[in-house]
Chain A
Amino acid sequence: MKKDIIESKFEKRGYIIFDDTTGLVKDLRKIIVNEIKKSNKKLKKLEDEKILNHFHKYVSKKSVNAIRFKIYNSINKVKDIDNIYYSISKNVLDNLIGNEVAMQKKINLSIQMPKDPDSLLDMHSDIYAGESPFQLVVWIPLVSAKSTKSMFITNPHHNKKLNEIVLKTNNLTTRNIYNKNKKLFHFINIKFGQVLVFSPLILHGNTINNSTETRFSLNCRFKSLLSPYDVNVKSHRNIPQFYRPLNTKLMTKIGFKYLMKYEKN
């Protein structure tokens, strides 16, 4: 996709959806399905998509978090997983944040079973938790997702108003604000094999999954290596706590080594 198309779509909606042309999304799904199959031999002969979409039929709601954590640990131990994940969205990231990047240290896994009230992420902006406004989220569904099986998001125009309400209210909860303004949000309609890149400045979240299928998705944050980490408030959303440098360019190393050698205390 060309730069001007990426930029115009992103400016208008605060996000962009594109097809994975690397084939690596399929590989990522394979890694996760294999991990699930290891712990449940009954699933060995089933198709990957069926295992994920029907996951709630094989696993109880009570045990989902323990399983999620186990898979999360396994995928983050896969050799070169950071570069695999980065490669999938490199073209879009190059155009939106540049090609020298910091990457969130761990890739997150979400499992949202139908009717599960314990996997809710109310309307929020990641910035509220001290994350950098310079960052993007790369969200990769491992099954097709729409409506409540997916995540909701608003658009940049409505976001300005809603953000002000969140920051200034004294008596509303985030759920109140979402419920009162539901029509300003829409659910992302995305197919397996597509990738969503969005600005977490835009309010987003999820509701109870009222579909009959489980959603599996991965998410990870990226930012320009040389853009600010802590903005307005100091938090742990920085190196080495939250981010890691993925591909520091040679002149960045040389320049900072010069700076360190001659800097005045």
Chain B
Amino acid sequence: MKKIKRYAGYINLKPINGVLYPSSIQNILMKNYVTDNLKGKFYLSPTEVLQAQNPITLNTLISNEVKVDGIVMLSTFSLPLENKKRKIIYKRALKHKKELHFILDEMVFNKIEMIENIENYLIFRNKFFTETKNKTNNFEKNLAKSSKVSFV
């Protein structure tokens, strides 16, 4: 009989590109993802310590101490900002054979080659993509003036 895999949710209360998901909603999304998409068993979903310098909760989940096959989180955007800290997570997850599932990005980290894909995706966490555009600079103003076309 095929072994049913166990997955832990990882709740991170920092906004994902401006959207703050309450922990209850994150929990529902993760639980549904584990049961419907992965056909696995949902184990638990601890919350990251907001004040900590390092992602202690995520580090705990990917350690040997927690007996799960993988960790499910909303997005790669929930990973630490610092490259060094992410590298540690990738390394430990591979060492302990734990998959990392990112629901919104529809990505799974389960082999070393995926690091490049995740790092490429994290480009879109840059403020170039996440900042709300409220003002135009002089170049943009001139560009807009150069065309008579406007729909509003």
Contacts and interface: CB of A to CB of B under 8 A. Distances in A.
Contact of A238 (B106, B120, B130): B130
B123 A159 contact: no
B120 A239 contact: no
Contacts of B152: 133, 159-160, 163, 201
B19 A256 contact: no
* Chain A interface helix/strand/loop/mixed: loop
B126 A256 contact: yes
Interface string A230-244: 111111101111001
Given A230-B18, A230-B132, A239 B124 contact: yes
B17 A239 contact: yes
A260 B123 contact: yes
Most buried by A among B17, B104, B134, B150: B17
Given A160-B152, A202-B151, A256-B123, A234 B132 contact: yes
Contacts of A230: 18, 130-133
Contact of A235 (B16, B18, B122, B128): B18
Contacts of B120: 248, 253
A248 B124 CA distance: 11
Interface in A1-48: 11, 14
A50 interface: no
Interface string B133-152: 11000000000000001111
A259 B134 CA distance: 22
Interface residues of A, number: 35
A240 B124 contact: yes
Contact of B104 (A226, A235, A240, A257): A240
A156 B119 CA distance: 41
B133 A239 contact: no
B27 to A, nearest CB: 18
A185 interface: no
Nearest to A252: B123
B88 to A, nearest CB: 18
B43 interface: no
B38 to A, nearest CB: 15
A259 B126 contact: yes
A228 interface: yes
B123 A232 contact: no
17 contacts: A11-B149, A159-B151, A159-B152, A228-B133, A230-B18, A231-B132, A234-B18, A236-B17, A238-B17, A238-B129, A238-B130, A239-B124, A240-B77, A240-B105, A256-B126, A259-B126, A260-B122
Interface of B: 16-19, 75-77, 83, 104-106, 119-124, 126, 128-134, 149-152
Interface of A: 11, 14, 105, 133, 156, 159-160, 163, 199, 201-202, 226, 228-236, 238-241, 244-245, 248, 252-253, 256-257, 259-260, 263
Q: Which 8 A-B residue pairings sit nearest by Cβ, starting from the closest?
A: A228-B133, A240-B104, A256-B123, A201-B151, A234-B18, A230-B132, A239-B124, A11-B149
